[in-house]
Amino acid sequence: MRERIWVPLLLLLLPLLLLPPPLWGGPPDSPRSEPEPEPGPLQPFDLLYASGVAAYYSGDYERAVRDLEAALRSHRRLREIRARCARYCATRRPLAPPAAGPGAELPFFRALLERARCYRSCETQRLGGPASRHRVSEDVRSDFQRRVPYNYLQRAYIKLNQLEKAVEAAHTFFMANPEHMEMQQNIENYRTMAGVEAFQLVDREAKPHLESYNAGVKHYEVDDFELAIKYFEQALREYFSEDMECRALCEGPQRFEEYEYLGYKAGLYEAIADHYMQVLVCQHECVRELATRPGRLSPIENFLPLHFDYLQFAYYRVGEYVKALECAKAYLLLHPDDEDVLDNVDYYESLLDDSTDPGSIEAREDLTMFMKRHKLESELIKSAAEGLGFSYTEPNYWIRYGGRQDENRVPSGVSTEGVEVHGLSVGKKSSPKIDRDLREGGPLLYENITFVYNSEQLNGTQRVLLDNVLSEEQCRELHGVASGIMLVGDGYRGKTSPHTPNEKFEGATVLKALKFGYEGRVPLKSARLFYDISEKARKIVESYFMLNSTLYFSYTHMVCRTALTGQQDRRNDLSHPIHADNCLLDPEANECWKEPPAYTFRDYSALLYMNDDFEGGEFIFTEMDAKTVTASIKPKCGRMISFSSGGENPHGVKAVTKGQRCAVALWFTLDPLYRELERIQADEVIAILDQEQRGKHELNINPKDEL
């Protein structure tokens, strides 16, 4: 029965293969002009990359810069050649439909073979040699995707005293690796040294369609609708062009993940179908690829529809009602039940002059054709999945709650004198919220604790500042424990200065403290205090924020930051750069991406301070731009700041310029699956110690076994 599926599947593929080249990508290369060969063969980027890295480690920074820059150019050129040859050959060698009668499939395969020969010839000419020279390992491919060459480049440029180029390389790397705090600090240092302002930072790998989209949003937000239209239209042209390139690059080798390559013995139609379906799924996913910023896993919500949402209103504001109507109808191709935009369509139609028939105004052609292909692909993939027995679930590419967050969501939301608007519903789409009820003000549970500030007074959401959570005696005792158990770089793979080269970082966990206490290296009573006060903090946070479920520890860490003498002059960095605790903060996009490597399971955070005999070290909250400070807190013994762990609470620590700043850092989760393992072990040790203290020895367990 399996063999019967393949021929019908191939026939199903033909309509999609035979769609004419899309109109929105610009004119393809002329079918009469053969591609011109490049002068000299293109050097493989993996060899140039390896040479550049080797030169870097040997100290030859000039050669490192030369070869790394050449590797980046080669990588970029290879992509251009592959995409261009795919477009050229699609036009030069179209796949003709099979004729009727005997050998009906031969014209199709002849066209297929001609396309393959064209593509190979085109690549060979443009590359200056066989394409096989440019097959690289997955490790090298991953390095270029993560922009690792720019990490080497920024260091090499610094060695060559080329600060502005170092800033560019560092910024380009950081844009794809926002969790790399050391690079963030490097950028600040380089900018200060070179006098480079924020607006001069250049992302050398920036995607044009994203840059134009961001520019459009900025102009829209200041009511400069003419320029907003210019940039959104430019963003769409670049988007559809990038889409063509993305789709062309999907036509490369596939991995056949469900098969061992050497044992793969599929027949003709099986092999064609297996390969083509992987290509088609890849092409279908270009929608997600183009909406995803470098280094992120999650796409910008509702990205493509938002272009038309912004445009429909911008065109309305400049009096171009026909174009506003075209864009609104285009948006409805993606969200046909959006009540706001349906109302807008009715309103725009009422503004047309009597000579224009509203029924003659259609959705924009660029999106109409795009969606026609997208739906055909979706139907074909689902049909193939059912017939061939593989699993496929169509993602929701146009998530509705990614809407414009402004009061111009519909024309009736505008507050401008002289603008007369009738018959529209007023509405504003709310921002995405934390996925739980937000409450605060619950009991503090313990006597002597002093309430200082709530969220409103701290200019934010889910924040609280408390004093006297620890007594002076407890602070001194904990500080004594710290000096006996701290390990340099603990929690950061032994890095002495993980956040700044101007401070020494030390840390220790609860379990380590109990281990040292049991062994007599620190007083067991003091080690037990570390455990007890962290549990006290957990109960306070759970109660104050009125949580309906148990709050669990996800990590408990006693930390000290010590200013390094001789390194504090003209210092302008932070002790801990601005970040959020459960998402990757993206200040330029005003977003926080809740995806790995962020600790996405964290829900609440707390810092319990042990001393104030140091200079600097203020804890700060900022806006999502990581620059605008909304609250600043001076640590002191017994003071505790607690807050929700998401992008609503970006925070950092100002430079410690003298002395040592110590605190107990606590992160909590509502998900028991992410309970801190060391904490569970510490709970068991405490239970056993309590049994021993009461003189009960029913459990024949040595506490040291748990340590």
- Residues annotated as catalytic are 661
Query: Does the CA dihedral 252-397-294-126 come out positive or negative?
Result: positive
Tell me the C-alpha distance between 435 and 644, whole Å.
12
Coil/strand/helix, residue 481: helix
DSSP structural state of residue 592: E
Closest residue by Cα to residue 392 from 285, 255, 288: 285
Tokens of 428: 């504003």
280, amino acid identity: L
Cβ neighbors of 459 (< 8 A, separation 6 or more) are 621, 630, 631
Place of tokens 């911008």: 314
Determine the 3-state secondary structure of 664 from DSSP.
strand
Distances (CA, A) of 224 to 228, 325, 474, 512: 6, 20, 59, 59
DSSP lists the bridge partners of residue 629 as 622
Q: What CA–CA distance (Å, rounded) separates 224 from 217?
A: 10
Q: Which amino acid is at 624?
A: M
Q: What is the CA radius of gyration of the chain?
A: 31
Phi, psi of 268 (to 5 degrees): -55, -55
Task: Tell me: cis bond preceding 597? Omega within 30 of 0 counts.
Answer: yes
Residue listed under structure tokens 């950081």:
174
Token pair listed for 5: 């599926």
Residue the block writes with tokens 């006297």? 468
Whether the Cβ atoms of residue 134 and residue 47 lie closer than 8 Å to each other: no
The two beta strands, 604-609 and 640-644, are antiparallel
Q: What is the dihedral of CA 198, 299, 140, 83, to 10 degrees?
A: -100
CA distance 338 to 331: 9
The span from the CA of 170 to the CA of 176, in Å, is: 10
Going by C-alpha positions, the residue among 286, 288, 301, 682 that lies closest to residue 508 is 682
Q: How many residues does the chain have?
A: 707
Angle, CA 450 vertex, CA 447 and CA 456 arms, to 5°: 135
The helix (H) or strand (E) run that includes residue 232 is helix 225-249
**Cα–Cα dist 309/403, whole Å:** 8
- Confirm if 478 and 558 have CB atoms less than 8 A apart: yes
Q: 85 near 122, Cβ under 8 Å?
A: yes
CB 463 within 8 A of CB 606: no
Q: Which residues pair with 557 in a beta bridge?
A: 665
How far, in whole angstroms, is CA 108 from its chain's centroid?
Answer: 42
Distance of alpha carbon 109 from alpha carbon 120, whole angstroms: 16
Return the HEC string of 346-397: HHHHHHCCCCCCHHHCCCCHHHHHHHHHHHHHHHHHHHHHHHHCCCCCCCCC
517 contacts 707 by C-beta, under 8 angstroms:
no
